[in-house]
Structure 1
Amino acid sequence: MRFNRYYASALTAFIIWGFFSLVLKPLHDYPSMDILFYRIFYSVALLLGINLIFRREVLKKDWQIWKAMGGRQKKTLAFMTVAGGMLLTANWFIFIYAINHVSLKSASFAYLICPILTTILAFFILKEKLNNMQWAAIGLSVISCALLSYGSLKDLLYSLVIALTFALYLIIQRKYNHFDRLVVLSLQIMITAILLLPLFPKYGGPLPTEFLFYLLIGIIAVFFTIIPLFLNLYALKGMDSSRVGILMYINPMINFLLAFFYFKEEVNLMQGLSYGLILVSVVIFNLKVPARSTTNP
């Protein structure tokens, strides 16, 4: 795989997400749902402000493109935009539910399964090609995930649902070729906010009063929501979904290293072996296979 700006964007996005735990840990006393609500509402306010104040010409250009489209094309793009927002909502909501009511393992494990699902879905839905080395890398990933999930069927089922929602989200984004990516992201986050708003009165806690909460939520909204999601959408302009998906392993790899070296959590031999296989699979998947010579000896 040639290293270019699209590859760099995807890699940067997953590296950023890998350090998410450093910001979440100081918020461990706050309900997970409150973190989710304020993360989305902050993101919507920031994106609306950025687009309406600094990017009016981009909005006008996208609006002209929308008006020039046929009715069928408008319906397709509208459906994909709403579907993208709904998939993000489902992914984040089920992720939080898994953390609170199932296990942290199920939530974390989802992002080990997601690259596999993304690659397979891209192969069947988008007809993206995979070579033998890439299939071998997927096989290694499956083995590592099987080792980590052994003996926990409930965790595995929740992980599959979380992974599937984000994998489908990535697949849908490959269809956006007409509009500005930040505008698309703004619409999707707005849909997410609209879907979560009715839940806020019931599931939201008391209004936080500490400045640290709002400071960290602001950091989460900018550096762990808007920027990596935008980089992800940008990467999909020039990369296959399968390649973006496999780079997602960077996220749990960094989480694993932080847990061991920074948070001093215990890691057993099986976990170490599994994550080692994941690292090998990422390297193999992104190796550039030389073209087969057609010249006769």
Structure 2
Amino acid sequence: MKFSKYYLVAFLSFVIWGFFSLALKPLHEYPSLDILFYRVFLCAIIMLVITLFVRVSVLKQSIAFFKAMSAPDKKSIIARTLGGGILLTANWFFFIYVMNHISVKAASFAYLVCPILTTVIAFFVLDEKLSKWQWTAVMLSLISCLLLSFNNIADVAYSMIVALSYALYLVTQRRNFGVDKFLILTVQIVFSALILLPFYPVYSAALPQDATFYWFILLIAVLFTIIPLYMNLYALQGVTSSTMGILLYINPLMNFSIALLYFHEPINTFQIVAYSLILISIVVFNERLIFKKRRVVAG
């Protein structure tokens, strides 16, 4: 039952993220940095209020747990938490920029290759093993990247940066256990806000006057940032890497469908072939789980 609970939380988090473009696209006239500034600042304020005034007992327990840790463990959790804050900041900025100034399909492609990148990085960093089928899937995803580069190499480059930043975040947080997940996320977002704060007076545009802007920022902060990120960190406690990889594809597939059906973005032959290869790589990468399920049904 515990596995089912973590699986459901992970599934719902990616379903929520799949609709992100519907809240972000209406803000395309605003600079990407401004969207990032207000998103992070509002998230930091909301999470600090919840942590300091609503979850006081959890905060005290986490502080006591941290004090009881050994010095090396303290350094490790601090490095992973703050490093995660930096990676989140980078991922958010590049994702917003690609979504609003490149294309929704490019943003979608970033999270199609993200599970593959996550697994490859985990192979080298966490010593997680890959099967021959999984390496084949990695090669198929690389071929799809080459096909897309014939169309527009800049799109692919931006997509890879978005994917790499979140893949590194997932890998670093996989071993970040012990302290309450909401508190870890709060520290990461507050750290992100502190990183961005010195840049706000210099790089921000004029203060937005339209109330609609702030409503969308509030929606993005709560529904598309705090809730799914917390669900992601929570699910990582009980969901395997391969399962997380399968569920991660929900987000880009929904983004790609919305780009074609709702935003009516054009698509060419190279893109059709490339995305088809990505879908094939998804099946190949997860063939062990897929065929295992078939054997169970057959039995």
Same fold (TM over 0.5): yes
In the alignment, which residue of structure 1 is the partner of 2:77? Answer: 77
2:61 aligned with 1:61, yes or no? yes
- Change in Cα spacing, 1:99 to 1:215, as seen in structure 2 (3 Å) is closer
For residues 238 and 3 of structure 2, the distance between their equivalents in structure 1, rounded to whole angstroms, comes to 11
Deviates more, 1:22-31 or 1:217-226: 22-31
Contact 2:81 2:176 (C-alpha < 8 Å) held by counterparts? no
Cα distance, 1:206 vs structure 2: 1.3
Root mean square deviation, CA, Å: 2.5
Farther-moved stretch of structure 1 (166-175 vs 89-98)? 89-98
Aligned AA (2:173) = Q
**Residues 212/17 of structure 1: CA separation in 2 closer, same or farther (3 Å cut):** same
Where does residue 30 of structure 1 map in the other structure? 30
Tell me: CA distance 1:12–1:99, structure 2 relative to 1, closer, same or farther (3 Å): closer
User: Do the aligned partners of 1:116 and 1:142 also contact (CA within 8 Å) in 2?
Assistant: no
- Tell whether the 8 Å contact from 2:25 to 2:99 is kept in structure 1 after alignment: no
Inter-CA distance 20–143: structure 2 relative to 1 (3 Å threshold) = same
In 2, distance between residues paired with 1:223 and 1:155? 27
- Once the two structures are superposed, residues 162-209 of structure 1 have per-residue CA deviations (whole angstroms, 9 ceiling, x without a partner) of 322211111011111201111110000011100001111111111122
Deviation of 1:99 after TM superposition, in Å, equals 6.1
Residues 192 and 174 (structure 1 numbering): CA distance in 2 closer, same or farther, change over 3 Å? same
Cα distance in 2, alignment partners of residues 147 and 250 from structure 1:
23
Corresponding residue for residue 148 of structure 2: 148
AA aligned opposite 2:234: Y
Mapped to 2, the partners of 1:239 and 1:137 lie a distance apart of 21
Matched, 1:112 2:112: yes
AA partner of residue 137 (structure 2)? A
Q: Find the counterpart in structure 2 of residue 128 from structure 1.
A: 128
Q: Matched residues in 2 for 1:155 and 1:265: separation?
A: 14
Give the direction of change, closer, same or farther, for the CA distance of 1:164–1:50 in structure 2 (3 Å limit): same
Tell me, in whole angstroms, the C-alpha distance in 2 between the residues paired with 1:157 and 1:136. Answer: 22
The 1:197/1:242 distance shift into structure 2, 3 A limit, reads farther
Report the equivalent of 1:295: none
Secondary structure, counterpart of 2:191 in structure 1: helix
- Is 2:32–2:96's contact at 8 Å kept on the other side of the alignment? yes
Counting aligned pairs with the same residue, the percent is: 52
**Deviations for 1:216-262, whole angstroms, at most 9, x for unmatched residues?**
11100011101111111112112244542453332221111112111
Question: Residue 211 of structure 1 aligns with which residue?
Answer: 211
In 1: Cα distance, 2:177 partner to 2:235 partner? 12
Residue pair 1:37, 1:196 contacting (<8 A) in 2 also: yes
CA distance in structure 1 between the partners assigned to 2:148 and 2:14 by the alignment: 21
Q: Amino acid of the residue matched to residue 269 of structure 2? A: L
CA 1:149–1:244 in 2, change beyond 3 Å: closer, same or farther?
farther
Q: Which aligned segments of 4 or more residues in structure 1 are displaced greater than 6 angstroms?
A: none
Task: Tell me whether 224-233 or 267-276 shows the greater mean CA deviation.
Answer: 267-276
CA distance in 1, matches of 2:151, 2:256: 20
Give the C-alpha shift of residue 212 in structure 1.
1.2
Corresponding residue number in structure 1 for 2:42: 42
Residue 31 of structure 1: how far off its partner (Å): 1.8
Shift in CA distance, 3/272, structure 1 to aligned 2, threshold 3 Å: farther
Q: Deviations over 1:103-161 (max 9, x none)?
A: 34655543333222111011222122333443443343333333223354444344333
TM-score (norm 2): 0.86
Paired with 1:223 and 1:147, the residues of 2 have a C-alpha distance of 35
Residue number in structure 1 paired with 2:248: 248
Figure out how many residues of one structure are paired with residues of the other and give that number.
289
Are residues 194 and 158 of structure 1, via their aligned partners in 2, closer, same or farther at CA, if it must alter by over 3 Å?
same
In structure 2, relative to structure 1, the CA distance for the partners of 1:260 and 1:108 (3 Å cut) is closer
Q: Is the 8 A contact 2:59 2:183 kept in 1?
A: yes
Deviation at 1:267, TM superposition (A): 2.2
* SS of 2:116 mapped into structure 1: helix
Cα 1:230–1:126 change in 2 (3 A) is: same
Give, in angstroms, the shift of residue 290 of structure 1: 4.0
Letter in 1 for 2:25: K
Q: Output the CA distance in 2 between the equivalents of 1:5 and 1:127.
A: 27
Deviation of 1:69 (Å): 0.6
State the alpha-carbon separation in 2 of the partners of residues 233 and 265 from structure 1: 33
**Residues 133 and 284 in structure 2, CA contact (< 8 A), matched pair in contact too:** yes
Q: Which consecutive residues of structure 2, in runs of 5 or more, have no partner in the other structure?
A: 294-299
